[in-house]
Amino acid sequence: MAEFFKESAYIAVAVSLIAYSFGSWLKRKFKLGLLNPLLISILCTIAFLLAVKVDYETYKGGAQVLTWFLTPATVSLAIPLYEEWELLKANVKAVVFGILSGVITSLVTILVLSVLLGLNHKQYVTLLPKSITVAMGMGLSEELGGYVIITVSVIAITGVLGNVFGEAICKLFRIKEPIAKGLAFGTATHAIGTARAMEIGEVEGAMSGLSIAVAGVFTVILAPIFATFF
């Protein structure tokens, strides 16, 4: 089976798309937040690869075409932002400082937990890009000397948790302002969280899409500084 994965240009892509389609079907049928399509697709793909004894590198080589769409998919989030441009201009200071505070909170949290859990420097820098997109996080993790594969996994887990629990957390803390909710989703849970924000409302989706880019830039600037703290 491993040889089949290596020789076929489409089998890994097909497995990924079928797993995601299955997750989407479960979400539509049962309408449960825990049945996140991405989470389901990850679990199904892992189970399938273990069953047929195909290693990750073989699967990754076949599914490489899917990663090419990460950057254009992220850029396309600028469309809802453009549609809410006037709203952004009216709240630009709150937006910038809100995103900056979110990025700093994320980095400080990773620093504190790394100290408390006794992680080494390489493990610490691996976690610093957890709240930005995979496209940016992979490059930043490699630059800082982290484990890139683990960074990708952590980014995905962060996004899925935000997608599943983000709205409930906003309700718990009585966060009702659409701009604030959008900034929280985008800053903390990047594109996966933004997908949920867009389901909640246009303003939430637009602000979340903006947060992805701005939070990514802030993280790229600040993470190397935080990397020297531990």
What would the mean pLDDT of 52-72 be, rounded to a whole number? 78
Q: What is the mean pLDDT of the chain?
A: 86
Sign for the CA dihedral angle at 29, 34, 39, 43 comes to negative
What would the mean pLDDT of 189-197 be, rounded to a whole number? 86
pLDDT at 164: 85
Global pTM reads 0.80
What would the mean pLDDT of 94-107 be, rounded to a whole number? 92
What would the mean pLDDT of 181-195 be, rounded to a whole number? 89
CA–CA dist 90, 114 (Å, integer): 38
In the numeric block, the tokens 């408390």 are attached to 116
pLDDT at 221: 94
CA–CA dist 150, 96 (Å, integer): 29
